[in-house]
């Protein structure tokens, strides 16, 4: 019931139908007729209609609607997936330069039989938590912390898993003064040099250089309702048309959805979500992600360090190639 308190516009017809099911069920219970054949049949028919409507709605989402799902406040976060999928999680802090950014978290864990280092953007659950974590927008200290952990992983031959979920790197004056662009650029360069498996997953919103700062891997996955984009549709519309209201038009043009990016060769694998989005059934989403991660790690750990570097290089060289 808690999820229904946060409704997206296109979910309202579905919510009305689900409320009607609850009303029928509650009335039947109050009158002691919940076992009546006609009541059971009516509820069953309404539930079938709700399932059909939910599938119809979520199979025909526009790019802008998918972005709304990707930004849903109840959508599972990095910590949620870590808790649901891994054992022996030990978070590590600090970039050893005086900063510890809570918007980008990382540490050791065990995923199945694999010891791994996990890195990911972390948004908040409420306003206070979002402010504390800067809405998942990492500062230079966050990217330098990530680099420190990846260098440690490379030194000891530990695979790296990254979870991408940010509208972008923090664009504030302080971040620029501390070298935001340089910190991301160094991460991009160094991630190409690591001789370990790196698997990246867009779990929600992947925006701009903030996503790329932990996004150079041997295998890139996206949940089907997540988005990955060079700039948010709102920012793109404001730049091109000086009108943020045209963000729906920008979302279409930017090709931000998993399906579009898979067809363009940017994304390697699309992970299915429970009908209604990952926030409807976080444990099912986590099980899907865990299976995909273990499968890819099993495959990639068979490669030598030099092969992993070459694989990563060729993967990114092929992005954007086209024939006239």
Least confident of 12-21, 101-110, 111-120, 289-298: 12-21
* pLDDT, the chain, mean: 91
Q: What are phi and psi of 220, to 5 degrees?
A: -115, 125
Contact predicate 229/208, CB 8 Å = yes
Contact predicate 232/168, CB 8 Å = yes
pLDDT, average across residues 33-52: 78
Q: What per-residue confidence (pLDDT) applies to 1?
A: 35
Q: Which two tokens stand for residue 170?
A: 């923090």
Q: What per-residue confidence (pLDDT) applies to 3?
A: 42
Is residue 54 scored above 60 in pLDDT? yes
What gap in Å lies between CA 234 and CA 164, rounded to an integer? 19
What gap in Å lies between CA 217 and CA 118, rounded to an integer? 13
pLDDT per residue as tens digits for the range 69-92:
999 999 999 999 999 999 999 999
Confidence of residue 324 (pLDDT cuts 50, 70, 90): low
Q: Which two tokens stand for residue 121?
A: 């953007």
Residues 6+ apart with CB under 8 A from 76: 84, 203, 278, 279, 282, 285, 286
What gap in Å lies between CA 72 and CA 188, rounded to an integer? 29
CA separation (Å) from 288 to 45, 81, 272, 322? 29, 11, 8, 32
Tell the CATH topology of 67-318: 2-enoyl-CoA Hydratase; Chain A, domain 1 (3.90.226)
pLDDT, average across residues 282-293: 97
122-126, 288-292, 318-322 — most confident range: 288-292
| SS3 per-residue string spanning the chain | CHHHHCCCHHHHHHHHHHHHHHHHHHHHHHCCCCCCHHHHHHHHHHHHHHHHHHHHHHCCCCHHHHHHHHCCCCCCCHHHHHHHHCEEEEEECCCCCCCCCCCEEEEEEEECCEEEEEEEECCCCCHHHHHHCHHHCCCHHHHHHHHHHHHHHHHHCCCEEEEEEECCCCCCHHHHHCCHHHHHHHHHHHHHHCCCCEEEEEEEEEEHHHHHCCCCCCEEEEECCCEEECCCHHHHHHHHCCCHHHHHHHHHHHCCEHHHHHHCCCCCEEECCCCCCHHHCHHHHHHHHHHHHHHHHHHHCCCCHHHHHHHHHHHHHHCCCCCC
Q: What per-residue confidence (pLDDT) applies to 59?
A: 86
Confidence of residue 34 (pLDDT cuts 50, 70, 90): low
Is residue 149 scored above 80 in pLDDT? yes
pLDDT, average across residues 47-70: 87
Is residue 40 scored above 60 in pLDDT? yes
Q: What per-residue confidence (pLDDT) applies to 45?
A: 84
Q: Which two tokens stand for residue 127?
A: 């306003």
The model scores a pTM over 0.85: yes
- Whose tokens are 């990016």? That residue is 261
Q: Which two tokens stand for residue 181?
A: 């662009």
Confidence of residue 293 (pLDDT cuts 50, 70, 90): very high
Confidence of residue 201 (pLDDT cuts 50, 70, 90): very high
Confidence of residue 47 (pLDDT cuts 50, 70, 90): confident
1-15, 30-44, 99-113 — most confident range: 99-113
CA separation (Å) from 221 to 35, 199, 208, 228, 267? 46, 8, 17, 11, 6
pLDDT per residue as tens digits for the range 204-254:
999 889 999 999 999 999 999 999 999 889 889 999 999 888 999 999 999
């Amino acid at each position: 019931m808690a999820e229904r308190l946060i409704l997206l516009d296109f979910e309202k017809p579905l919510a009305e139908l689900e409320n009607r099911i609850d009303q029928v069920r509650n009335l039947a219970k109050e009158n002691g007729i919940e076992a009546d054949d006609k009541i059971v049949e009516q509820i069953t028919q309404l539930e079938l209609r709700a399932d059909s409507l939910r599938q119809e709605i979520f199979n025909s989402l526009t790019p802008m609607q998918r972005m709304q799902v990707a930004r849903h406040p109840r959508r599972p976060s990095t910590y949620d997936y870590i808790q649901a999928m891994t054992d022996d999680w030990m978070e590590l802090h600090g970039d050893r330069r005086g900063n510890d950014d809570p918007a980008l978290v990382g540490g050791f864990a065990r995923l199945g039989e694999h010891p791994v280092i996990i890195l990911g953007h972390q948004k908040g659950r409420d306003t206070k938590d979002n402010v504390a974590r800067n809405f998942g927008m990492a500062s230079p200290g966050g990217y330098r912390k990530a680099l420190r952990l990846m260098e440690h992983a490379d030194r000891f031959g530990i695979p790296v898993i990254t979870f991408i979920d940010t509208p972008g790197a923090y664009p504030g004056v302080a971040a620029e003064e501390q070298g935001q662009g340089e910190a991301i650029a160094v991460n991009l360069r160094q991630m190409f040099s690591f001789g370990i498996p790196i698997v990246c997953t867009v779990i929600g919103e992947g925006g701009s250089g903030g996503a790329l700062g932990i996004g150079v891997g041997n295998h890139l996955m996206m949940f089907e309702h997540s988005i990955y984009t060079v700039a948010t549709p709102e920012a793109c519309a404001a730049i091109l048309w000086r009108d943020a209201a045209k963000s729906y038009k920008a979302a279409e043009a930017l090709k931000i959805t998993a399906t579009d990016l898979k067809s363009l060769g940017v994304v390697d694998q699309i992970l299915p979500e429970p009908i209604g989005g990952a926030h409807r059934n976080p444990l099912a989403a986590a099980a899907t992600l865990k299976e995909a991660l273990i499968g890819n790690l099993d495959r990639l750990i068979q490669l030598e360090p030099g092969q992993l570097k070459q694989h990563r290089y060729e993967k990114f060289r092929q992005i954007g190639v086209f024939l006239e």
